[in-house]
Structure 1
């Protein structure tokens, strides 16, 4: 019986991965991929780096506007395929499909560790066909790589919490370093995660030890970037110096022509600070609403479509894709509350990351792409709580009724005999 179950399980996993690989590859070859404004700037940046040795985003002088994780990934592919004679974008997309499938394996591994086999299979199936996880492979942007590093970090951090070893803490820190080099906003997770761990375990010495080695791992990975900035730019830059996402986030409903402040002769940061001061004092309700429900609604209300493509590739029959996204998003608050009710467990790490990253992103301009890295965690949380609710309902209402019917049948047969 156990052998048959194992064979069935392996077959299901293989079939789901085969489905995931098929839809991702079929998507790449079935549509015309659009190239976003950011991708164009990345392309110019990478060619300048390879040909002139200058690392600069939207400039010809060295800067630290963006972290080097994705540009260096692009540069490696450019060199590998001889970019001066071949278009590197198709190669990047195919490599991202491979990264996406490895990420799918990490998602399955995390879900299985947190909630067992049934939940992990459901999570794997949903993640295999969730449309943004397919469409993102066509975008030459950070999402696919960042999601991989985030899942790797979570898997290693959970392992470090369980085994409590310096090596695993060091490795989780290294994964965080790679994640920060790809998407710098995730750096805030380190203190948040270890504050949670301290209150969970109430062991200051252990928490400090794991935190120290996690920070060492992160620091080792980030150090070449930090040293480069100190030598080249004469300033300490741990992540990036880009101000635009923060400044653009100060415009309620993305109305960039509201005329709230005079922008002439001022830096983006000066404009942003002045807008925040005037906005929260003179237009308090508008800015409070924008920096809370307004941005949250904007970030999570729609799926991330990558850079766009034509014709539209419907992973699921319309409108099932949108319905799946909305179901996951609207059920998430229920899942978060249910997870927090018994918070002293590893599952709370996912809840913490979703909440911290959502709050962090309220400081910046809201984009649909910001929900992308949260969706694997939301899928896991929703599935864990959803399955728990179904099991509770079954045990409370369905199983007792079956037992009563069985007892009646047995009693009738006994009396008849």
Structure 2
């Protein structure tokens, strides 16, 4: 049985996924400052749920370009996560699994070791990558397979990482510098240039991206349709922005409304057409924004080509999509279509994505904690006090 004192902390640049006692909860990994709230102007992580007006929120992010740079902000968020309003744990009685980005800087790793051992005094810690936790989630779903390739599309960038028998093939690891943050910023720029100044409305525009955008299965055809006028344009929609009086989240307005109810109240809205497909398309063609890198399907093929030939058929058969930016409608189908067109005809391709791809790594960590050899990967507080940073370097190397 899983040790109830084990906590999984999947630390992302946008959100923190927390796994404890078989439950997973996601909270924002930032501190919000409100320009309009008088009662309370600063909201730490999930406290944003109590904010009545999300317009003009100022973000204080601990991560920049995917790496932890502001320890003061991150410490406040972790204090909130471990407190009574969230996990409500005693670190001295708890073991914790932490995630870090690939190619993390040694100084950041040392800072995390010091903070979790010396400040929080956790019983033991295991520091690894989110894709490694996803691999153990894959092992639980497909126990007869020992090869897979994890595609982690997150907030700052996308990582494609092959695994074989629990070991990541580092020489085949590929990064694409495109993630959810870039897509939201691009959408803000488009809307601000064409319709309404929304450069300060990151929170609202991120909701617009989630509610209205989708991955096109035929991009050229959809963009041609987006040029049509009126009802002839299948992509055209009106997105009603929240007023934080009667509505607290925007929504796509129905094209056909009952007579007499159309102008019942004043609504501030934006019109969306080609933006709905052109924004997610950046994941497949970063060169559209001048980023000289491969799209996700090409990067998958490139990563597999760098693996030993005997593993390649198994990797094509086990492609796992994870991360919050995978949640666009048609994302899995588009990746499958393009990978199939690029892969050798003799190989079977299978793309798998869970219903909650952003939580997949965290749930994989919970699944890993149920295995027999799980405890041997931890470094205890006593071992750290005896050998210091060198013990962390030895213990977590290659995990």
Normalising by structure 2, we get a TM-score of 0.26
More strand by percentage:
2
Instruction: Name the larger-Rg structure.
Output: 1
**TM-score, with structure 1 as normaliser:** 0.26
If each structure's helix is expressed as a fraction of its own residues, which one has the higher value?
A: 1
